[in-house]
């Protein structure tokens, strides 16, 4: 059983909980390959997907996971809502809860927004991304996809390459990978790697070629221009030249590595098209596994009653 | 707490052999019959049945496992339920399915398993084979087609099945009184 009624971040999750979620997701992946891909477990549960920030994959993935579990769902997005009229976060969510909702899946631009909600409301809260802080279900589906490839992650070398500073995927992945005993190396321009990040037990490199040669799997991240108020590097073209990964670089490596990306990909910037579509890439497996992982998280949180 | 032995070797082997003879008598065969063990504990009994049948039939039925956790009626009403693996490496559409479990008591797991089975297709027929039938414990109108042994039990009693596959020294079936 999960120790917390919420999934706010990987930081508060222990290794056993990660194992439990991955093990449960494995059974849900089997369900998703049945002729009828739906189970009745959550038929008495109502879930609100509350998205204060844009999302394609995560939102569709959560919605599909909820429907596969037979939950009732309602969707809320900040654009075109009363948020624009000045309603506070707590008021918005309390109004949704007044309609007898059991669980809230929330994405918000402010780090800590789901943690704040968890203190003030009674429903189960799942963080679907809070600003530059955490994105726990993404790290769990990355873990699941890596375990499908490698089995155990202990001692495996995982590189996270790109805009670490603005990435909630990076932070959640660092926590998840370290808890499972993997070695983690971050790679990117020094302006996009947070100071003191080594205190989390990770290595830092600024050379993408040697990082690719070192790792068993590379998780490549997008440059998050929407979160960058100042210029962190001279131009996207220069970034692509220095940190972009091409098919040629992958083919020249002494061993085959696994290539991941949480999406959306900026083709030609962090990944060339031929690299993104190469056999190294498990990007679409990640998306498939995302539904199973989210079903597992919803199921395990709901099972606490 | 007291425990009383109700079935063990060599009577257990005779019981399994008799059940297989009954199945063969009812004309099961590999082309149109499949066997599904109910997770978590029915799978060991199902393996024994499948092994015994393969001694007598040229074309024995295929064996699979089915887990009914996601279809149970007590989710969110008690302890958290963790799922086990489902492995059905064949089609069940239009097949004769023999569901196999070790102990039949309330019938709720069998109800859930039949719902789970429907997610894989529409079987031509579903039959139930159990090792132990706790005849007076039923909550639902479910009746087994093949029974190893009938046992009269009180609600305070429990039937415990131990298989060597689970790490026990010998196959033993106990009646436990709280």
pLDDT in tens, B21-59: 999 999 888 889 999 999 999 999 999 999 999 999 999
> Which among B85, B120, B121 is the nearest to A27, CB-wise?
B85
pLDDT for B76: 87
Say if residue A238's pLDDT is above 90: yes
Question: Do A103 and A151 belong together in one domain?
Answer: no
Parse chain B into domains and list their residue ranges: 7-69+92-152
With beta carbons under 8 A apart, name residues in chain B contacting A41.
Answer: 70-71, 75
Q: What is the pLDDT of residues A48-70, one digit of tens each?
A: 999 998 888 899 999 999 999 99
For residues A211-237, average pLDDT: 90
ipTM of this complex > 0.90? no
By C-alpha distance, the chain A residue nearest B90 is A34
- CATH number of the domain where residue A248 is located: 3.40.50.1370
pLDDT for A92: 87
Measured CA to CA in angstroms, residue A301 lies from A144, A290, B50, B82, B90 at distances of 18, 17, 38, 12, 33
Burial of B4 (0-12, 13-18, 19+ CB in 10 A): exposed
Q: Classify residue A8: in a domain, yes or no.
A: no
Question: Does the beta-carbon distance from A40 to B115 stay under 8 Å?
Answer: yes
Question: Do A147 and A87 belong together in one domain?
Answer: no
Question: Do A278 and A211 belong together in one domain?
Answer: yes
Print the domain residue range for A59. 15-134+287-302
Other C-beta atoms closer than 10 Å to the C-beta of A249 total 15
Q: Classify residue A181: in a domain, yes or no.
A: yes
Q: Classify residue A2: in a domain, yes or no.
A: no
Mean pLDDT of chain B: 93
Question: Does the beta-carbon distance from A30 to B82 stay under 8 Å?
Answer: no
Question: Do A275 and A150 belong together in one domain?
Answer: yes
- The number of C-alpha atoms within 13 Å of A267 and in the hemisphere containing its C-beta is 6
Report how many domains make up chain A. Answer: 2
Mean pLDDT of chain A: 93
pLDDT for A85: 76
Q: Classify residue A159: in a domain, yes or no.
A: yes
Question: Do A113 and A192 belong together in one domain?
Answer: no
Q: What is the pLDDT of residues A262-289, one digit of tens each?
A: 989 999 999 999 999 999 999 999 999 9
Question: Does the beta-carbon distance from A26 to B115 stay under 8 Å?
Answer: no
pLDDT for B81: 86
The answer to which of A20-24, B109-113, B154-158 has the lowest mean pLDDT is B154-158
Question: Do A272 and A191 belong together in one domain?
Answer: yes
Question: Do A55 and A184 belong together in one domain?
Answer: no
Q: Using CB atoms and an 8 Å cut-off, which of residues 22-41 of chain B contact chain A?
A: none
Distance (Å, whole) CA A192 – CA B102 = 59
**Prediction pTM value:** 0.91
For residues B90-119, average pLDDT: 95
- In CATH, the architecture of B7-69+92-152 is 3-Layer(aba) Sandwich (3.40)
For residues B122-138, average pLDDT: 95
Q: Classify residue A40: in a domain, yes or no.
A: yes
Distance (Å, whole) CA A246 – CA A268 = 9
- Closest approach of B95 to chain A, Cα-based (Å): 16
Contact with chain A for residue B2, Cβ under 8 A? no
Question: Does the beta-carbon distance from B70 to A44 stay under 8 Å?
Answer: no
Q: Classify residue A269: in a domain, yes or no.
A: yes
Question: Do A298 and A265 belong together in one domain?
Answer: no
Name the band, by pLDDT with cuts 50, 70 and 90, for residue A80: low
- Three-state SS at B42: helix
Question: Do A94 and A107 belong together in one domain?
Answer: yes
For residues A171-195, average pLDDT: 96
Q: Which carries the bigger pLDDT value, residue B94 or residue A81?
A: B94
């Amino acid at each position: 059983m999960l120790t917390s009624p919420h999934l706010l971040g990987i930081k508060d999750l222990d290794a056993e909980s990660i194992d439990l979620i991955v093990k449960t997701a494995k059974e849900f992946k089997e369900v998703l390959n049945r002729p009828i891909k739906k189970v009745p477990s959550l038929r008495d549960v109502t879930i609100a997907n509350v998205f204060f920030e844009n999302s394609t994959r995560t939102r569709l993935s959560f919605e599909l996971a909820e429907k596969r579990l037979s939950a009732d769902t309602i969707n809320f997005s900040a654009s075109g809502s009363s948020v624009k009229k000045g309603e506070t976060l707590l008021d918005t969510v309390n109004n949704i809860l007044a309609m007898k909702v059991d669980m809230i899946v929330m994405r918000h631009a402010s780090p800590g927004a789901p943690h704040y909600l968890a203190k003030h409301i009674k429903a189960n809260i799942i963080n679907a991304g809070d600003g530059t802080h955490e994105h726990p279900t993404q790290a769990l589906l990355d873990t699941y996809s890596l375990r499908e490839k490698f089995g155990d992650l202990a001692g495996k070398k995982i590189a996270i390459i790109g805009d670490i500073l603005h990435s909630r995927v990076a932070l959640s992945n660092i926590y998840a990978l370290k808890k499972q005993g993997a070695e983690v190396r971050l790679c990117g321009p020094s302006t996009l790697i947070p100071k003191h990040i080594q205190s989390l037990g990770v290595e830092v490199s600024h050379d993408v070629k040697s990082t690719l040669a070192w790792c068993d799997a590379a998780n490549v991240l997008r440059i998050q221009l929407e979160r960058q108020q100042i210029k962190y590097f001279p131009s996207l073209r220069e970034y692509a030249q220095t940190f972009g990964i091409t098919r040629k670089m992958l083919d020249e490596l002494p061993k085959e590595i696994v290539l991941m990306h949480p999406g959306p990909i900026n083709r030609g910037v962090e990944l060339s098209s031929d690299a993104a579509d190469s056999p190294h890439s498990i990007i679409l497996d990640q998306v498939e596994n995302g539904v199973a992982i989210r079903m597992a998280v919803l199921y395990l949180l709901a099972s606490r009653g | 707490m007291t425990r009383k032995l109700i079935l063990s070797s060599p009577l257990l082997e005779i019981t399994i052999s008799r059940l297989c003879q009954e199945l063969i008598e009812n004309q099961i065969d590999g082309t149109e019959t499949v066997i599904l063990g109910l997770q978590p504990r029915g799978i060991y009994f199902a393996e024994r049945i499948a092994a015994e049948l393969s001694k007598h039939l040229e074309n024995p039925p295929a064996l699979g496992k089915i887990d009914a956790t996601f279809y149970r009626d007590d989710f969110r009403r008690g302890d958290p339920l963790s799922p086990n693996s489902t492995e059905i490496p064949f089609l069940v559409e239009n097949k004769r399915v023999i569901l196999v479990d070790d102990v039949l008591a309330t019938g709720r797991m069998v109800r859930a398993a039949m719902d789970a089975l429907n997610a894989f297709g529409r079987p031509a027929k579903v039959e139930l084979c159990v090792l132990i039938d706790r005849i007076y414990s039923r909550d639902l109108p479910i009746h087994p087609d093949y029974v190893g042994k009938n046992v009269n039990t009180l609600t305070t009693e429990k039937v415990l099945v131990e298989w060597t596959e689970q790490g026990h020294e010998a196959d033993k079936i106990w009646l436990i009184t709280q």
